[in-house]
């Protein structure tokens, strides 16, 4: 496999260039403009940052609005659905919170915070299915071993038990994020170092923390795809590459590594399509295109 070239950018959120925008069309007639030409466009990573800031400021309506834009642009992004759920919970829009957490649960059935958020929303709606989430949390807590956050499980379990006992009583809304941008930068840089050391499982833990802070940033998503790929999890890796390219269609790292993954899977035609996109993205040539071209020509890592 080719060497992993790391480009540490000055600001993670500011690093997106040429990203795909989620366009919200505006009405009107006449002319030949498409709605996406005239309507406002949204950068998913920037909208995620706005949602996080609004949530911290307890401006739940603004947080939900920005988080919704992220889920529309990158519907497979777990953190966006969790953020939307937290925003709705903060506004006591329990039906909205339930829907957001249900979507998150499909993406991450083992996520403790998702289970807690969904359970709380269901309890506030006096839905008996809240008990299922409480039972899950209790079972998880009983089996809590190395790497398990016992304190978080205890907190979520206690809060859900309290709300189930008195659904209408005031209580914590689980509406505050667990990680902020400064911690996200540190996690991102830590992941870069771990990847360069070949410690991919450890890097994924740090990348998860960075993704919680920055949302669907294409650099973070590409690194997650690379780490999973090096661990042989090709399907998971592909999912992250596709997310990265949904946000930034010309992201050179994602295009190269997705192309290499296709070579590893014997899909040279698919790899050539990635190469064509790379050549269009860097018309004057770039190292990513040359590396992928070598992979295609040799049928694998040319360095082996």
* The total number of structural domains that make up the chain: 2
CATH number of the structural domain spanning residue 195? 1.25.40.10
Question: Same structural domain for residues 134 and 246?
Answer: no
Residue 293 lies in a domain: yes
Residue 128 lies in a domain: yes
pLDDT at 224: 95
pLDDT at 4: 33
Residues 241/225, Cβ–Cβ less than 8 Å = yes
Which residues constitute the domain of residue 276?
181-298
Residue 8 lies in a domain: no
Residue 180 vs residues 50, 113, 220: alpha-carbon distances, Å? 12, 16, 15
Residue 84 lies in a domain: yes
Q: Which of 134, 165, 196 is the last residue of a domain?
A: 165
Closest listed residue to residue 215, CA positions, set 50, 113, 16, 77: 77
- Which 3 state secondary structure label does DSSP give 47? helix
pLDDT at 116: 93
pLDDT at 73: 85
pLDDT at 40: 45
Chunked mean pLDDT (size 10), the chain, 304 residues: 33 33 34 39 82 88 92 88 92 93 94 92 93 93 83 87 80 46 76 92 91 86 95 95 90 94 95 94 88 92 76
Residue 16 lies in a domain: no
Q: Which of 165, 195, 229 is the last residue of a domain?
A: 165
Tokens for 236? 């998971």
pLDDT at 170: 60
pLDDT at 275: 94
pLDDT at 187: 86
pLDDT at 81: 93
Q: Which of 117, 137, 165 is the last residue of a domain?
A: 165
């Amino acid at each position: 496999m080719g060497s992993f070239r790391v480009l540490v950018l000055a600001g993670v959120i500011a690093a997106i260039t040429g990203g795909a925008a989620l366009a919200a069309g505006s009405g009107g007639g006449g002319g030949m403009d498409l709605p996406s030409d005239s309507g406002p466009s949204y950068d998913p990573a920037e909208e995620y940052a706005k949602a996080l800031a609004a949530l911290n400021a307890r401006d739940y309506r603004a947080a939900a609005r920005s988080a919704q834009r992220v889920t529309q642009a990158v519907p497979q992004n777990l953190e966006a659905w969790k953020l939307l759920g937290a925003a709705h919970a903060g506004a006591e829009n329990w039906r909205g919170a339930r829907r957001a957490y249900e979507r998150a649960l499909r993406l991450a059935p083992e996520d403790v915070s998702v289970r807690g958020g969904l359970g709380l929303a269901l309890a506030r709606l006096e839905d008996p299915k809240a008990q299922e989430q409480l039972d899950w949390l209790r079972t998880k807590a009983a089996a809590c071993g190395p790497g398990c956050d016992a304190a978080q499980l205890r907190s979520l379990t206690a809060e859900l038990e309290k709300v189930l006992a008195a659904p209408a009583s005031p209580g914590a809304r689980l509406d505050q994020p667990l990680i902020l941008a400064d911690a996200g930068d540190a996690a991102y840089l830590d992941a870069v170092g771990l990847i360069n050391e070949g410690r991919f499982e450890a890097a994924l833990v740090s990348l998860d923390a960075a993704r919680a802070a920055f949302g669907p940033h294409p650099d973070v998503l590409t690194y997650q795809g690379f780490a999973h790929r090096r661990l042989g999890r090709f399907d998971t890796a592909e999912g992250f590459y596709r997310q990265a390219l949904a946000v930034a269609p010309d992201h050179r790292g994602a295009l190269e590594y997705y192309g290499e993954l296709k070579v590893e899977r014997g899909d040279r035609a698919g790899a050539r399509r990635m190469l064509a996109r790379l050549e269009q993205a860097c018309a004057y040539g770039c190292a990513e295109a040359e590396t992928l071209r070598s992979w295609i020509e040799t049928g694998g890592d040319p360095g082996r």
